[in-house]
Amino acid sequence: TPTVTSNNAMFAQGFGDITFGVQRLLVAQTPGTYDLSARLEYKLPTGGANAGTGRPDYNVLLLASKDYSDRFHADYNLADASLGRPDGPGSVQQAFVSAAFTYKLPHGFTAQTEVYGYSGSSLNGTNLANGYGFTYTPHPASEYDGYINFGLTRAAPRYFVTVGHTFFLGKLF
């Protein structure tokens, strides 16, 4: 995913690290319940010194989601990450929590807003931020997105912009 970030006078541009993951639906949504899933992720350090850490990361996520209507959807996530130390061997633990809300617009577009936070670690402080984005889905197996994020705490980047393309291998074959 190409990324441009800003944290005071610090800027980086280029292709970032690549994350691979597997997710399993544990409980399917009913009118009175949420979808509940678990996901495991591995970050391959491909981003280089300017747009990556140079170290692998491992994440375990618990996800809950709910379709409140045909157009309005919410996601709630909890995670624990083992982050590779960019300044030496080993890793540090970091917790994550988020709430995201999406609203389907006409012609394959979706609007999104999100608030999320990371616990502080020896690598950085507590990060609380919110963001806004749009997604365009021209085909069920392909999705394009753009997102702008605004930091709400000192440790969070003041802002960053992300654009990406996601394709779903399971739907392509």
Question: What are the Cα distances from residue 10, in Å, to 80, 122, 153, 158, 171?
Answer: 27, 20, 16, 10, 39
Residues 18-74: pLDDT tens digits?
A: 899 999 999 999 999 999 999 999 999 888 767 777 889 999 999 999 999 999 999
> For the whole model, what pTM was predicted?
0.71
User: What is the pLDDT confidence band of residue 106, given thresholds at 50, 70 and 90?
Assistant: very high
Q: Which residue type is seen at 87? A: D
